Structure formats: C-alpha cells, structure tokens
C-alpha cells in the first residue's frame, strides 16, 4: 500500500516539474515558446530523473505530508534547488541540449512552488476535515482527553480523521491555566483535573483518555483516583516512548491497570553494585519459570552473566522464558534445566558441573488454601527443598545465596507461611556455618503473578460478575513484578550474610476496594452493574499481613525501598534435629502432629481452628 502511494506521488512530482519548466519557457521566452519547448522535450526525461533522484536523496518520499512541519518543507526546498543546479549543468554538458539559463532558474523556482504547493494543499485539506462537525450517532463514544500537549493533539487528530473508530473527542482537560478556554483541533480545553467529575457528567462522557506520557506516578495515581468518581471507562497512553516515536495513536491506548493506581515511581538501582556480583558469574535461578523467577531472569540477563541457569520442575513455564531470553539476549549463555529442589542428587549434579557462583531461590509452593489441603507437600518442597539447595550451595562454595520469602512468613497462620519462616531460619543458620553469604528477601503480593486476585477479578468482571472477595476488611500489600525483581537484585548487592531484607511495599490495599476499583476502571458501577460477593476467609487466611516480626527490628539501607531485619536464629545443630523429627512425621502421615511439630520449630506459627475462622467470618461484611 505504501509503495503504491509513493509511485503515485512520484508521477505527480514529474508532472509538476515539467509543468513548472513549461510555464518558465512561456514566461521568459514568450516569442520562442515552440522552439525552446521542442529543445526541452528532448531533455525532459533526463531532467525528470534528476529531480526524482534528488527528491529521494532529500527523503521527500519518507514524509507523512499531512503531518508536515518546517523540516519537511526545508528538505523539499533543498531537493528542488539541488535538482535545479544539476539540471543547469546537464543542459550545458555534452549530453544535453542548451536550454536558456533564465528558463532553468525560473523553472527551479516554479518547481519549488508547484511540488511543495500541492503537498501543502493536501495538508490543508486533511486539517480542514478535522473541523467539519461529526455526524453524531448513538454508537459513538464521547471522549474526554486529559492532557492538551503533543500526545493529546495526536489522539484528537486521529480520532477525527479515522471516524470508523467511532470516537468523538468532546473536551480537553489540562492543569495549565494559560491553556484554559483555548482549542486544539476544534476541541475546547474546559478545566483542570479537579473539574473532571463535573465536566464528565455535564458532557455525558463515555471514555476518559489520559494522554500525558511524561506524567509521574504520583500525579497519574491522583488523576486516576479523580476519574474513579465518574462512571466513565478509563484508558491511558503507556509512556513517553510513544511521543518520541510519533506513535501516540489510538491503537496504543490501553486500559488503566492497578499498576497505574499504585502510584509507585521507577526504581533507582545501584547498577554498579549489582553488576559486581552478577557480571561474568554463573547464576542459578530456581523456579525460573514462575512470575518472580522469570522476571529475575530477565533482569539478570541485562547484567551480562557468564551463564544463566534456569531450573524449574514445570517445563511449559521455562519453555516460554527460554524462548523470550533467546530472542532478547541472543549472545547470552543460557542453560535451562528441568528438575525439583527436592531431588538433592539432581542439585549436586548441577552445582558440580556448572560451578555456580550465585543462587536466586524462587522455587516454592505459595498458594495458601492449596497448601492447607496439602501441608506435607508444602513442607517437602519449601522446607526440605530449600535445605537441599542451601546444603549443596554451601558444599559448592557458592558466593551468594538469595532466597525469596514472603510477608506470610511473619507470625504465620497457615502452613505455607510457616514453611517460609522455617526457610528463613534455615538460611540464617546456614550463614553462620558456611562461607556462602545466605540472605532472604521478604515482600508481599505482586500484581499479575500466577494465581493472584487481579487476573481472577478481571475474569469475573469480563464474565459479568459476581466478583468474589473473602472478607470486606482483608488487607494486603502489593508491588509490581519488575519492581520486586529489581529490588531483590539490589538487596543481593547489599548482602553480608544472615540478613532478612524487607522491601518497602507502600501502603496496604483493601482487597474489597481493589475489586471496586477494577470494576470502576471498566466503566461499570460496583454492586449495580457487577455484584461483589463476600465469601468468607479461607483456612489459614489472615485479615492483615505483616512484613516484620517485633524482635527483628528494622534498619535502613542505602536504598530507600530496602530495609534489613536483624538475624533472629543461628543454631543449625538444634534445627537439624528438629528437621529430622519433622521428616519422620511426614512418613507417618499424621497431619495434626506435623502441624504441632511445625509450631515447635516456628514458635510464631499459630494455625487457626474452625471456631476461630468462623468468628472472623461472622464479621466478614
């Protein structure tokens, strides 16, 4: 399609250039028109080719002329002048026929006028279309655009030019007082962000588009919060790249996600510190196909490791991340291995063969309700899998071992949280008897991870509801997957051994409010369009999660989003004896006794009985 348009423009250019020279002959040599025109006809093909080549060299066939500016205009002038100079030389050469100099000069000037003139007329025509009123129909979406800058202008122009999209830009919003009352492509700027709810109601807006690619996280979250007070669907332009690439189009607009609502600024990393312990090293990531593990692999790949080993029991997950990394980092030495951290012999083979320098341990069973029903599997995988990995890492003199933990390990009320707390204890105890630096990084929920509430809520909304929440008062901490992975790498750079690093999760979020937000962001009304059903707490589920135990204390690091808790456990000898007892109980299949043994090892573990769960659910509304 593009090539045919270029050919048509070239044909029009040839016609315009020849018309310019014929006009020049008529103007400058009125009495000799037939004679000079005959001479010109012998050279017109050569001159046409000269002009086309010059236009091509000046990139006149690469411009979108309905969006032309000064740069395109100057290129057009330059192309015509160069072609005119070469034409004068050609007509005075051995190959050409002598056309009067005044004809060539005037022809060049008229060529500039004709060739650029029809392009400018086309631009004026396209711009005029923008101001012709829409033929309104009931299926058009009435749009408010927040941001009267370059992105907003691009979006308005495309909505008006591509009417088949059925977008009708009604009003602009901008915080710049100097822009108030002005118009962009016929659309009036009627207020600032605080006027959004009133104007949206008054103008019967269906869709609000935030078109401020350079906006910071805090202001973005504030505008989204204001927009939630309307019944409009909310969308946003992703980022500054779209403006820089000239690609801020309707197709680039995306729905607002909870990532936008969190209002978290980009992480500032000590790239030098991270690079020092990753670059040129062999890195092993267990659970590398999972949500956190795969993102760790992406982030690690940036720092040029000698070899990245992805280890996971689930082949489908690692297959996806393997293909992605091969495409994005074709020169990286990537090894993908299938196996379980329960299999110590398999781990020994890996450490012996590949001489691992750094371990990131992300492999774990993490789903609370599932692990309550299968506590033995949680203990086998999380506890003894971590123990196997830690022992092999220590025997292999691995430099650093970073374990991914969870806020559910703090005063746990479920078996999953208890196993993760026990893993932390293993890590701290191992650090005291090994040359390997063992550390853990603790954080809460990550948005978009496998099995998180966000995909579930979105699916329920798409199906028309209801959206199910376990308790109206339940609160959780959230952060983004890339943010968590970056901070894990940064915490690893701070490691001296034995620490539990705690990530700044921001403000806790009520899950019920989160469900309401997702419904509102879809342009729907909670409990009117989509019902929210409170189902009651599940076994082992807490109303509130904590990031720190009281005895751990909390100290700052040089990074404002990473804190460190004091080591609270050091006795590997006594722990080993208790773990042996736990291993024996797993063989007996006595779940009650297994939980009692877990409580002996992890004193902060308190598993709720049915009466306690029922009491909390009595207040679930």
**Neighbouring C-alpha atoms within 13 Å toward the C-beta of 15:** 7
Instruction: Please report whether residue 548 resides in a domain.
Output: yes
Which residues have CB under 8 Å from 130's CB, separation 6+?
Answer: 156, 157, 160, 161, 185, 186
Q: Name the least confident of 63-67, 116-120, 162-166.
A: 63-67
For 373, left (φ over 0), alpha (ψ -120 to 50), or beta? Answer: alpha
Regarding whether 300 and 212 lie in a shared domain, the answer is: no
Regarding whether 114 and 150 lie in a shared domain, the answer is: no
Instruction: Please report whether residue 266 resides in a domain.
Output: no
Regarding whether 335 and 252 lie in a shared domain, the answer is: no
**Neighbouring C-alpha atoms within 13 Å toward the C-beta of 325:** 28
Residue with tokens 């600024």: 265
Phi and psi (nearest 5°) for 228?
Answer: -65, -15
- Taking only Cα atoms into account, the Rg of the chain, rounded to an integer number of angstroms, comes to 34
Alpha helices in 283-384 (DSSP H): 291-302, 315-328, 344-354, 368-373, 375-378
Q: How far is CA 569 from CA 393, 550, 552, in A?
A: 20, 14, 10
Which residues have CB under 8 Å from 235's CB, separation 6+?
Answer: 207, 208, 209, 210, 253, 254, 255, 256
User: Which CATH number covers residue 473?
Assistant: 3.40.50.720
Regarding whether 125 and 145 lie in a shared domain, the answer is: no
What pLDDT score was predicted for residue 456?
Answer: 85
Q: Give the mean model confidence (pLDDT) for residues 601-613.
A: 74
| Structure confidence by residue, pLDDT tens digits, 347-377 | 999 999 999 999 999 999 988 889 998 999 9
| Structure confidence by residue, pLDDT tens digits, 259-278 | 666 656 666 676 788 888 99
What pLDDT score was predicted for residue 164?
Answer: 73
For 74, counting Cβ atoms within 10 Å of its Cβ (0-12 exposed, 13-18 middle, 19+ buried), the class is exposed
Q: Name the least confident of 74-88, 455-469, 536-550.
A: 536-550
Q: Give the range of the structural domain holding residue 50, as residue numbers without chain letter.
A: 2-131
What pLDDT score was predicted for residue 244?
Answer: 41
pLDDT at 556 exceeding the cut of 70: no
Cβ neighbours of 323 (radius 10 Å)? 11
Instruction: Please report whether residue 270 resides in a domain.
Output: no
Partner residues linked to 359 by β-bridges: 284, 401
| Structure confidence by residue, pLDDT tens digits, 227-239 | 888 888 888 886 5
Tell if the pTM clears 0.85, that is, is over it: no
Sorting pLDDT into bands at 50, 70 and 90, what band is 313? very high
Q: Give the mean model confidence (pLDDT) for residues 38-52.
A: 81
> CA 599 to CA 165: how far, in whole Å?
61
Q: What is the total count of domains within the chain?
A: 3
Sorting pLDDT into bands at 50, 70 and 90, what band is 196? very high
Regarding whether 409 and 379 lie in a shared domain, the answer is: yes
Regarding whether 316 and 192 lie in a shared domain, the answer is: no
pLDDT at 133 exceeding the cut of 60: no
Set 408, 420, 542, 561: catalytic member: 408
Partner residues linked to 145 by β-bridges: 172, 209
CB 514 within 8 A of CB 457: yes
Regarding whether 251 and 104 lie in a shared domain, the answer is: no
CB 375 within 8 A of CB 415: yes
pLDDT at 600 exceeding the cut of 70: yes
Q: Give the mean model confidence (pLDDT) for residues 76-102.
A: 79
What pLDDT score was predicted for residue 261?
Answer: 65
Regarding whether 25 and 88 lie in a shared domain, the answer is: yes
> Catalytic residue at 220?
no
Instruction: Please report whether residue 213 resides in a domain.
Output: yes
Regarding whether 587 and 476 lie in a shared domain, the answer is: yes
Nearest to 530 by CA among 461, 470, 481: 461
Q: Is 255 helix (H, G, I), strand (E, B) or coil?
A: strand
- Looking at every residue in the chain, the average pLDDT score rounds to 82
> CA 5 to CA 487: how far, in whole Å?
50
pLDDT at 246 exceeding the cut of 50: no
Q: How far is CA 599 from CA 52, 138, 151, in A?
A: 84, 64, 58
Regarding whether 432 and 286 lie in a shared domain, the answer is: yes
Residue with tokens 């001489």: 355
Instruction: Please report whether residue 268 resides in a domain.
Output: no
| Structure confidence by residue, pLDDT tens digits, 135-148 | 555 567 889 999 98
> CA 282 to CA 306: how far, in whole Å?
5
pLDDT at 30 exceeding the cut of 60: no
Of the three residues 75, 109, 131, the one that is the final residue of a domain is: 131
CB 381 within 8 A of CB 365: yes
């Amino acid at each position: 399609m593009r090539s045919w348009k270029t050919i048509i423009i070239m044909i029009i250019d040839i016609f315009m250039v020849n018309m310019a020279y014929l006009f020049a002959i008529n103007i400058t040599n009125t009495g000799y028109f037939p004679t000079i025109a005959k001479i010109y006809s012998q050279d017109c093909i050569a001159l046409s080719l000269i002009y086309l080549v010059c236009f091509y060299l000046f990139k006149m066939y690469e411009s979108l002329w309905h969006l032309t500016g000064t740069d395109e205009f100057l290129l057009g002038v330059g192309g015509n002048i160069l072609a005119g100079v070469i034409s004068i030389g050609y007509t005075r050469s051995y190959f050409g026929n002598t056309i009067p100099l005044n004809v060539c000069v005037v022809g060049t000037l008229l060529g500039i006028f004709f060739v650029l003139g029809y392009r400018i007329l086309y631009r004026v025509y396209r711009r005029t279309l923008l101001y012709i009123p829409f033929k309104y129909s009931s299926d058009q979406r009435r749009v408010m655009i927040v941001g009267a800058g370059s992105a907003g202008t691009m979006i308005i122009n495309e909505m008006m030019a591509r009417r088949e999209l059925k977008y009708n830009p009604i009003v602009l919003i901008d915080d710049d007082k100097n822009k108030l009352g002005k118009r962009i492509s016929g659309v009036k700027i009627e207020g600032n962000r605080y006027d959004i709810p009133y104007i949206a109601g008054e103008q019967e807006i269906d869709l609000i588009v935030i078109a401020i690619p350079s906006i910071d996280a805090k202001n973005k979250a504030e505008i989204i919060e204001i927009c939630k007070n309307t019944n409009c669907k909310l969308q946003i332009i992703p980022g500054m790249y779209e403006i820089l690439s000239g690609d801020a189009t309707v197709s680039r607009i995306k729905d607002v996600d909870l990532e936008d609502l969190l209002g978290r600024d980009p992480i500032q990393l000590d790239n030098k510190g991270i690079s020092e312990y990753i670059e040129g090293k062999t890195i092993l990531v267990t659970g590398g196909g999972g949500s956190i593990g795969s993102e760790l692999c992406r982030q690690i790949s940036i720092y040029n490791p000698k070899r990245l080993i992805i280890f996971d029991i689930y082949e489908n997950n690692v297959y996806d991340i393997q293909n992605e990394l091969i495409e994005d980092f074709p020169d990286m030495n990537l090894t993908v291995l299938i196996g379980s951290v329960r299999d110590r012999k398999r781990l020994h083979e890996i450490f012996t063969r590949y001489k691992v320098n750094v371990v990131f341990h992300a492999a774990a069973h993490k789903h609370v309700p599932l692990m309550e029903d299968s506590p033995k599997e949680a203990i086998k995988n999380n506890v003894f899998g971590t123990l196997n990995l830690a022992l092999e890492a220590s025997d292999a003199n691995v430099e650093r071992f970073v374990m991914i933990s969870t806020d559910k390990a703090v005063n746990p009320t479920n078996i999953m949280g208890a196993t993760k707390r026990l893993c932390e204890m293993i890590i701290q105890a191992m650090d005291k008897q090994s040359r390997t630096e063992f550390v853990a990084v603790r954080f809460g929920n990550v948005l978009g991870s496998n099995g998180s509430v966000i995909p579930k809520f979105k699916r329920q909304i798409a199906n028309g509801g209801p959206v199910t929440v376990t308790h109206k008062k339940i609160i959780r901490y959230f952060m983004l997957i890339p943010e968590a992975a970056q901070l894990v790498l940064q915490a690893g750079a701070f490691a001296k051994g034995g620490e539990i690093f705690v990530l700044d999760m921001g403000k806790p979020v009520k899950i019920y409010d989160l469900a309401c937000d997702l419904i509102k962001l879809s342009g729907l009304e909670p409990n009117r369009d989509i019902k929210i059903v409170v189902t009651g707490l599940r076994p082992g589920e807490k109303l509130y999660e904590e990031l720190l135990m009281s005895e751990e204390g909390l100290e700052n690091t040089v990074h404002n989003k990473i804190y460190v808790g004091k080591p609270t456990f050091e006795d590997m000898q006594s722990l080993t004896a208790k773990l042996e007892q736990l291993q024996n109980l797993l063989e007996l299949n006595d779940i009650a006794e297994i939980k009692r043994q877990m409580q002996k090892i992890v004193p902060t573990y308190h598993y709720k009985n049915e009466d306690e769960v029922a009491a909390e659910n009595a207040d679930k509304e």
